[in-house]
Structure 1
Amino acid sequence: MRKSLAILSIVLVFTALLGCGQKKFAPQAIHEDVDVCAVCNMQVKDGAYATQIITKDGRSLKFDDLGCMNKWKMENGTDQIGMDYVRDYNDKSWIEYEKAAYVYDPSIRTPMAYGIVSFKDKKAAEAFMKEQGAGKLLSADELAQHSWQQSKDMMGMDDHEHMEESSGTHGQMHGDGAGEDESKEMNMNSNSGH
């Protein structure tokens, strides 16, 4: 009996030690009725453009556009980030920021007009570019050198005016409830010559 208890104690201590230092920073669900972007205070849609940072202390910071998440990182640094996530444009699954492939084109319509969408792998990103006839493939490292300019044509107003809008008009930036597939087609076809 003592031998079994000693072995069990060793196993429990070993398991506890393995768990320490390996904190998991899993993405949290998006709740459209309450979640707002940590940068622009607009509603975060539970869709392909949502991004998220889980801080080392377990807080979830949600963003309506990859550009807003980048702005937060520029203003706050990366020391407090446990993990950062983007969504796959096709199936909306969460992907670690560093592992995703990105496509940029000013004609891609995103909530805050940064024109960047994310994919779980390079193959999916390349298929998107081929289908749309536009886009530049970028890695997470290459995004660090990206200019992060908002497309004024896509926003329809300057940054100052947009930031003063109430969150109630944010749906207009997302297409006023148009279906996701219809929205994808409309967004890219409007500027497919780029």
Structure 2
Amino acid sequence: MKKRMGFLLVGLAAMLMLLAACGGEKYEPQAINEETDVCAICKMAIKDDQYATQIVTKDGQSLKFDDIGCLNQWKTENGTDTIGAEFVRDYNSKQWLRYEKAYYAYDANYKTPMAYGIVSFEKKADAEAYIAEQGEGTLMTAEELSSHSWEVNREMMDMGDMHGHEDGGHAS
């Protein structure tokens, strides 16, 4: 009887470990605090708006960014091994979305905080509507963004609406 109970306990422990391994971690974005949060790359204040993005590391640290281009720059500089999840916001609702599930509208002429020209959407139809409304742009997925050139539109930066990383300002 004791032998059977031992096997049962070992089997139960193995099943629990397997379930825990399959469950994975649940990462959640943190709220933006405009009074204290600054971009992890450019150190500018982050507005609680549709352009804010963030990475939650596997150890639970939240790294916040004022523009999706800054998020990408962090990944380029630090790699992706420590990333638990990446979040962007739906342009219309400002709700947090998983980076890999969002749709993106891109055009160098779109005004974004750091002039990367990328706007995120929960629904493909909303991204397409934004592109049509702007009269220019390209629909992209997260996979397509992985091969994107990620250049800042310097002309947009010079228009006075935006401030470069070195200026310490933020788009309005």
Provide TM-score, normalisation by structure 2.
0.84
Equivalent in the alignment of 1:91: 93
Could you tell me how far 1:153 is from its partner in structure 2? 1.1
The code of the aligned residue for 1:147 comes to: S
How far the C-alpha of 1:133 sits from its partner, in A, is 1.1
Matched residues in 1 for 2:166 and 2:109: separation? 24
Task: Name the CA distance, whole Å, in 1 between partners of 2:60 and 2:115.
Answer: 29
Quote the Cα distance in structure 1 between the aligned partners of 2:33 and 2:69. 20
Between the aligned residues of both structures, percent identity stands at: 55
| 1:149 positional shift | 0.7
Alignment partner for residue 109 of structure 1, among 97, 108, 111? Answer: 111
Letter of the 2:51 counterpart: Y
Give 5+ residue unaligned stretches, structure 1.
Answer: 1-12, 176-194
Which of 58, 61, 64 aligns to 1:59? It is 61
Within 1, Cα distance between the matches of 2:75 and 2:81?
9
TM-aligned CA distance change 1:38 to 1:19, over 3 Å:
same
Deviations 1:88-126 (A, max 9, x none): 000000110100000100110000000000000211100
State the alpha-carbon separation in 2 of the partners of residues 65 and 127 from structure 1: 21
Q: Which moved more, 1:118-127 or 1:56-65?
A: 118-127
In structure 1, what is the Cα distance between the partners aligned to 2:91 and 2:119? 6
Over 3 Å counting, the alpha-carbon distance change for 1:15 and 1:118 in structure 2 is farther
Unaligned runs of 5+ in 2: 1-12
Map residues 157-176 of structure 1 onto 2, 5 A cutoff. Answer: 162-166=164-168, 170=169, 173-175=170-172
SS at match of 1:23: coil
Please say which of residues 31-40 and 148-157 is displaced more in the overlay.
148-157
Secondary structure of 2:164's counterpart equals: helix
The equivalent residue for 1:77 is 79
Residues 167-187 of structure 1 show CA distances to partners (whole Å, capped at 9, x for unaligned) of xxx2xx422xxxxxxxxxxxx
The count of residues paired between Structure 1 and Structure 2 equals 157
The residue aligned with 1:147 is 149
User: 1:130 offset after TM fit, Å?
Assistant: 1.3
How many angstroms apart in 2 are the aligned matches of 1:135 and 1:162? 23
Cα deviations across residues 66-88 of structure 1 (Å, max 9, x unaligned)?
Answer: 00000000010000000000000
Paired amino acid for 1:89: Y
For the 8 Å contact 2:104–2:142, the answer to whether it is kept is: yes
Paired residue type of 1:174: A
User: How far off is 1:22 after superposition?
Assistant: 2.2
